[in-house]
Structure 1
Amino acid sequence: MRRPSTRDQLLATGLKVLHARGFHATGVQDIAEAADVPKASFYSHFPSKEAFGADVLGRYWERRASHAAAILGDETRPPMDRLRTYFEGKTSPPPDAPFDKGCMIGNFSAELAGSSRLVRDRLATVFAAWGTLLARCIRDAQADGTLRPDLDPDETAAFLIDAFEGAVLRTKVDRDGAALARFRSVVFSLILV
């Protein structure tokens, strides 16, 4: 098996470290040490920590996007089933979950959106792509008559993302999954009906 490139090793390690500790609490030296590479190697592959953070966020989203697309775009299943499966998967943490990491998309939104145009632009791209995946499935549910037609698919998708990210943020405060359970209950009893 081929060993990952130094760049890939830094990104994979950075994803773990930045997700666990946050962007500002993690230095380049921390990332290089965790990746077991010299600090100079970091700057051979990334012009700045900010650019690195944007690339890590991109990698984080790529993994989530492929998972979301596989569920939400599976046209062999009814669209409401796809939406329910997608959100049940995102809101059903394991019983021993520590609830300390949250979602990197929400974390970076809170931590970097005000100070980094590069990360803010990457976040905007992520939110737009995520919204497109959800809105497409919402339209499919409206087209087959299983979801009320008065909902604007794009606005509803954006609201679902906003509410989900807020629920994930709340889990970091409460250290339990109650906010995720509330999100799921409200969404499927009042909105996606």
Structure 2
Amino acid sequence: MTVAEKHVQARRRILESARPLIGMRGFSAVGLSQILEAANIPKGSFYHYFESKEHFGAALLELYNEQYMESLDALIAQKGKTGFEKLSIYCQCWIDAQHNGRLSGKCLVVKLAAEVSDLSERMRLILEEGTTGIVDRLARIIEEGQKDGSITKELPARQMASVVYQTWLGATLLVKVTHQPVPFEEAFAVTRRLVAA
């Protein structure tokens, strides 16, 4: 393995190791030493991999966006399922990710949007790009459902996708506040009523 490959691998390990910490505590509350300790990287070497903590945060969000889009693309590519079934799978995966105890599964948009949007324009733009990409992909699923007859055509697919995504973001915030699953149950019921043909 070349020096450049080792550098890329170590950088990725830092990002993946830091995600659960930041998903639990937030961006500002996690120090550089904690990030390096989690990744088993020598202290003092952070700036060898990232120009600043903001650059690190941007890279973390870019990786999160990339992985999230890959999972949505895989869902879109599934054969033999209606658009409604795919959208239901998406909603159930959202619930499972928030309740399975894996901090790496937590939604970084929910955790970081308010915090980093005020701290860093660069990070805000990456979050905006990610949320736009999610809504675009949900709109593709909804369009599929509108074509196969499993999803209503009462609203344009993009508008419906935006409402669905906003509903789930809000439900996740309320679950964090209440420590109860009811907001997810309500979000699922509302989503089904909104989209069902």
TM-score, normalised via structure 2 length? 0.86
> What's the CA shift for 1:150?
2.1
User: Separation in 1 of the partners of 2:167 and 2:149?
Assistant: 25
Does the 8 Å CA contact 1:10/1:35 hold for their aligned counterparts? yes
**Structure 2 residue 52 is matched with structure 1 residue 48:** yes
Deviation of the 1:40 alpha carbon: 2.9
2:23 aligns with one of 19, 22, 45: 19
Higher helix share goes to which structure?
2
Q: Residue 82 of structure 1 aligns with which residue?
A: 86
Cα distance change, pair 84–110 in 1 and its aligned pair in 2 (3 A): same
Residue 114 of structure 1 aligns to a residue whose secondary structure is: helix
Distance across 1 between alignment mates of 2:123 and 2:177? 24
In structure 2, what is the equivalent of residue 138 of structure 1?
142
Residue of structure 1 aligned with 2:189, choices 172, 177, 185? 185
- Identity over aligned residues, as a percent? 26
1:95 & 1:109 partners in 2: Cα distance?
20
Q: Which moved more, 1:117-126 or 1:58-67?
A: 58-67
Shift of residue 60 of structure 1? 2.0
Find the counterpart in structure 2 of residue 34 from structure 1. 38
Q: Structure 2 vs 1, CA of residues 167 and 95 (structure 1 numbering), >3 Å: closer, same or farther?
A: closer
**TM-score normalised according to structure 1 size:** 0.88
Do the aligned residues in 1 keep the contact of 2:98 with 2:106 (CA within 8 Å)?
Answer: no
In structure 1, runs of 5+ residues without a counterpart are none
> Match of 1:36, as an amino acid?
N
SS in 1 for 2:44: helix
Correspondence for 2:177? 173
Alpha-carbon distance, 1:91 to partner: 2.2
Per-residue deviation, 1:97: 4.8
1:187 deviates by: 0.8
Structure 1 position 65 matched with structure 2 position 64: no
Alignment correspondent of 2:118? 114
The root-mean-square deviation of aligned C-alpha atoms, in Å, is: 2.4
Write out per-residue CA displacement over residues 125-166 of structure 1, whole angstroms, 9 at most, x where no aligned residue: 101110111001111111122222121111111111111111
1:8 is aligned to: 12
